[in-house]
């Protein structure tokens, strides 16, 4: 059965829209749900067992001075600690609404990587400010807001006209919301206002999210975080005839195009890595050369 007979050939592939109910592109369980559960557990358990609260926060919260002394795990652990019920509620609510459509668009592994990188960007910026004395080096910081602002930056670039509801009442274009929250962060930092260290984390996460939406796909492909699912190509025997090699190449090309077009159908053309695009181009070129030689063209 050729690729023309597959289910994805029945309609033109399209990029999933914001909030699309499409299944997870990577399969499996939702990483957004797992992150939310992890945050809730880390927040509630130390409060149920009071003796755990102080050591968990003492060894997990972000403090620039201690990070500079080698306690780099704080850059990660601080993302899963929260200061109050309102703090964790707002962050997990933002993760739910911003994260689920992005996870469907990407994959659980890719989403978790970007989510973590945005949080790290915020925490690293906070540490730099602490090292330079702009923030007190032992001032503590906790929260996942750097990651959440990173997701906001991604969505603001990729889906600028999507609508969010501020306080569940006021509709606002998500790009406008990103401008507003980013502007508040910048103003608070320059004015040294309340929580300006936290706003520095927000701003760094937002900037990395915007960068990712604009340049991240090329970086992802270049660093090979995502391994293309290419059909295996066993080494050919030297004794194989030219005809046999051509037949095998044609079958390999058909399987390759079939796999890549299925991926385009499920996740859109943007889901392809640079290697996959190159393989598709090369296979298509070989197909055109075969058609030119035989004088036959398949009708799509």
Of 45-59, 60-74, 159-173, 256-270, the range with the lowest mean pLDDT is: 256-270
Q: What is the pLDDT of residue 286?
A: 74
CA dihedral 98, 100, 105, 111 (to 10 degrees): 80
Q: Is 21 a domain residue?
A: no
Mark residue 236 as left, alpha or beta (left: phi above 0; alpha: psi -120 to 50; beta: remaining): beta
Task: Say if residue 213 is in the same domain as residue 286.
Answer: no
Q: Is residue 8 part of a domain?
A: no
* Closest among 157, 29, 40, 15 to 93, alpha carbons compared: 40
Vertex 97, ends 127 and 159: CA angle to 5°? 90
Q: Give the residue, 197 or 236, on which the prediction is more confident.
A: 197
Total domains in the chain come to 2
Tokens describing residue 40: 């809730």
* Domain of residue 240, residue span: 227-294
The predicted model gives 224-246 an average pLDDT of 53
Give residues with Cβ within 8 angstroms of 80, minimum separation 6.
38, 39, 42, 60, 144
In a domain, 209, yes or no: yes
Q: Tokens 């994805």 belong to which residue?
A: 8
Query: Phi and psi (nearest 5°) for 163?
Result: -105, 135
Calculate what percentage of the chain has a pLDDT beyond 70.
76
Mention every residue, 6+ apart, whose C-beta is less than 8 A from residue 43.
81, 82, 88
Q: Which of 203, 222, 241 is the last residue of a domain?
A: 222
User: Average pLDDT over the chain, rounded to whole?
Assistant: 81
For the stretch 126-136, pLDDT in tens is 999 999 999 99
139 has a pLDDT exceeding 80: yes
Q: Full-prediction pTM beyond 0.85?
A: no
Question: Of the residues 207, 222, 237, which one is the last residue of a structural domain?
Answer: 222
If asked whether residues 169 and 85 sit together in one domain, one would say: yes
Q: Identify the domain boundary among 222, 255, 278.
A: 222
- Count CB neighbours of 220 within 10 A: 18
What lies within 8 Å, CB to CB, of 89 at 6+ separation is none
Asked whether the predicted pLDDT for residue 1 surpasses 70, the reply is no
User: To which residue do tokens 């797992």 refer?
Assistant: 34
Mean pLDDT lowest among 48-62, 110-124, 152-166: 152-166
Residue 293 has pLDDT above 60, yes or no: no
Whether the per-residue pLDDT at 17 is higher than 70: the answer is no
The verdict on residue 32 lying in a domain is yes
- Backbone φ and ψ for 173, nearest 5 degrees, come out as -65, 140
pLDDT of residue 237: 47
Percentages (nearest 5) of helix, strand, coil residues in the chain: 65, 5, 30
Q: Which residue has the higher pLDDT, 245 or 86?
A: 86
d(C-alpha 258, C-alpha 13), whole Å: 13
Residues 6+ apart with CB under 8 A from 92: 36, 39, 40
User: Is position 299 within any domain?
Assistant: no
The answer to whether residues 125 and 247 belong to one domain is no
> Using N-to-C axis directions, what is the helix angle for 108-131 and 85-105, rounded to 10°?
130
Over residues 244-260, the mean pLDDT reads 73
Better pLDDT: 203 or 6: 203
Domain shared by 161 and 262, yes or no = no
Residue 1 lies in a domain: no
Q: Dump pLDDT digits (tens) for 143-169.
A: 999 999 999 999 999 999 888 877 667
pLDDT value of position 11:
47
Round to whole Å and give the CA distance between 192 and 112: 32
């Amino acid at each position: 059965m050729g690729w023309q007979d597959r289910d994805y050939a029945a309609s033109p592939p399209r990029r999933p829209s914001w909030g699309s109910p499409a299944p997870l592109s990577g399969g499996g369980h939702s990483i957004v749900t797992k992150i939310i559960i992890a945050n809730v557990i880390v927040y509630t358990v130390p409060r149920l067992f009071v003796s755990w609260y102080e050591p968990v926060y003492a060894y997990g919260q972000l403090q620039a001075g201690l990070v500079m002394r080698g306690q780099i795990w704080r850059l990660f652990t601080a993302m899963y600690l929260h200061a109050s019920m309102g703090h964790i509620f707002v962050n997990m609510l933002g993760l739910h609404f911003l994260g689920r459509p992005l996870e469907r668009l990407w994959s659980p592994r890719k989403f978790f990587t970007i989510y973590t990188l945005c949080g790290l960007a915020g925490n690293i910026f906070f540490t730099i400010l602490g090292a330079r004395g702009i923030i007190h080096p032992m001032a503590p910081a906790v929260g996942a807001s750097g990651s959440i602002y990173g997701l906001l930056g991604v969505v603001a670039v990729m889906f600028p006209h999507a609508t969010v509801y501020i306080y569940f009442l006021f509709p606002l274009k998500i790009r406008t919301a990103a401008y507003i929250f980013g502007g508040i962060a910048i103003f608070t930092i320059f004015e040294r206002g309340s929580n300006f260290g936290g706003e520095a984390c927000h701003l760094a996460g937002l900037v990395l999210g915007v960068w990712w939406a604009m340049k991240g796909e090329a970086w992802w492909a270049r660093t090979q975080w995502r391994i293309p699912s290419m059909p295996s190509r066993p080494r050919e025997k030297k004794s194989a005839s030219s005809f046999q090699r051509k037949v095998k190449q044609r079958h390999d090309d058909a399987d390759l195009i079939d796999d890549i077009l299925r991926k385009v159908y499920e996740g859109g053309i943007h889901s392809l890595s640079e290697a996959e695009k190159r393989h598709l181009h090369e296979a298509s070129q070989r197909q055109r050369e075969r058609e030119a030689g035989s004088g036959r063209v398949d009708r799509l």
